[in-house]
Amino acid sequence: MRVSFLLPGESDLAALRGLDPDRDHEQLKRGERAWVLQTYLRLAAAGWPVELTAEPPADGLVVFHAKHRRWVAAQAGALRRAVLVGVRGDLHSPRVADFEVLQNGFFADGRRCFHVPHWPQPGLLAREPARGDEILRVAYKGFARNLAPEFRGSRWLGYLAARGLEWEYAAAEFAGPATDDLRLGWHDFRRVDLVVAVRPRSRRLHPDKPATKLFNAWLSGVPALLGPESAYRGLRRSPYDYLEVRTVDQAIAAVEGLLDDRGLYRAMRERCAARAAELTPGSWIDAWTELLFTTLPARAAEVRASALRRLPLAMRVPLRGTGRLPGRRPAP
């Protein structure tokens, strides 16, 4: 079955097809480019028969980002024979889609909604091996709104200063593609010894968020203190994978434990290396190609006969405030 990646509004597809996602990662900041364009580039480079288009393909699987769901809905006539695969990202369910790709497995059901992890951050610079078991620098890398406020307060900052630990607060307010994460060094873990990433509390364990910070920690060889999130818990197979903390007090206790027991810190570094070995580009490519070339083509006939498919595209709009379809519960 033909597989197309759809980027409406892009005027120079030839230039986009020539990008290297590891070299040109600054071109992949926008959600639709990070998901749709990057996936196309990596699958094409691996030799898979995929297409990149700005126009609605007449048939086959069409992968698009939820940001473009209204544009897709407006192309009802042109897309009537296509099977629509919507990437939800951080947005609401793109109900215009026949199938969805989720960056977190919480809502995945294996029937209409499928989990494919977000690609790790390109261009990562790993921790310098010469740092050994030293713990001198603790870092948060990400948007300011995604760090619990207490980790910007006097108790946390005072503790780090009293213990002689440097705090790298590489944070920025959300500014979409204009966010200068290269200047902030979000990719650079060479002088980082611990990663801290604790979001503001959520009773639902952030079911729409990806495991990117954990992937980055493993790939960079840096032990991590992470908040309770469903994406992280779904990947955890060992107590050395990361340390879960909810509060500053718990984070302080975790850091003290690592300072007092360098064997524990070494075990976590070794665990990072072991988990990083699983996170090759091929593992993501395998997940995508299994979905696009095996799983979804086998389900295409079934979805065309579904009740949702019989609705006009323009009526398949997201439910405000929820990522679920009517009457469908999230997977446990």
pLDDT at 300: 86
For the cut 80, the answer to whether the pLDDT of residue 314 exceeds it is no
% pLDDT > 70, the chain: 88
Residue 310 has pLDDT above 50, yes or no: no
Residue 45 pLDDT greater than 80, yes or no? yes
pLDDT at residue 330 greater than cutoff 80: no
Strand-pair partners of 297: none
pLDDT band per the 50, 70, 90 thresholds, residue 331? very low
Task: Look at 251-265, 267-281, 298-312 and tell me which has the smallest mean pLDDT.
Answer: 298-312
For 83-141, the pLDDT digits (tens) are 999 999 988 889 899 999 999 998 899 999 999 999 988 889 999 999 999 999 999 99
Question: Looking at residue 212, what is its pLDDT?
Answer: 94
Give the whole-angstrom CA distance, residue 21 versus residue 37: 9
The two structure tokens encoding residue 268: 């976590």
* Cβ-contact 281, 42 below 8 angstroms: yes
pTM, whole model, 2 decimals? 0.84
Low-confidence winner among 184-198, 268-282, 290-304 (lowest mean pLDDT)? 290-304
C-alpha dist (Å) from residue 274 to 3, 197, 218, 242, 332: 34, 21, 8, 13, 27
> What average pLDDT does this structure show over 144-158?
97
What is the CATH topology of the domain spanning 129-276?
Rossmann fold (3.40.50)
Q: Is the pLDDT of residue 305 over 70?
A: no
Percentage of residues in the chain with pLDDT exceeding 90? 76
Please check whether residue 64 is in contact with residue 86, taking contact to mean a CB–CB distance below 8 angstroms: yes
pLDDT over 70 (residue 155): yes
What's the confidence (pLDDT) of residue 304? 65
Looking at the predicted structure, is the pLDDT value of residue 14 above 90? yes
Give the per-residue pLDDT at 175: 63
pLDDT at 318: 41
Alpha carbon distance 317, 329 (integer Å): 18
Confidence of residue 74 (pLDDT cuts 50, 70, 90): very high
pLDDT tens digits, one per residue of 233-252: 999 999 999 999 999 999 99
| Whether residue 37 has pLDDT greater than 80 | yes
Query: Could you tell me how many residues make up the chain?
Result: 332
Quick one: average pLDDT of 158-167?
Answer: 98
Chain region(s) in the chain for CATH 3.40.50.2000: 129-276
Res 203: pLDDT: 81
* pLDDT of res. 320: 33
Cα(130)–Cα(190) distance, integer angstroms: 10
Q: Which residue in 226, 28, 23 sits closest to 141, CA to CA?
A: 226
Host H or E run for residue 143? strand 137-143
Tokens matching residue 220: 């960079």
- 310 vs 217, 231, 306, CA distance in Å? 44, 33, 7
In sequence order, the β-bridge partners of residue 226 are 197, 244
CB 36 within 8 A of CB 5: yes
Q: Decide if 102 contacts 92 (C-beta within 8 A).
A: no
Give the chain's mean pLDDT.
89
Whether residue 322 has pLDDT greater than 70? no
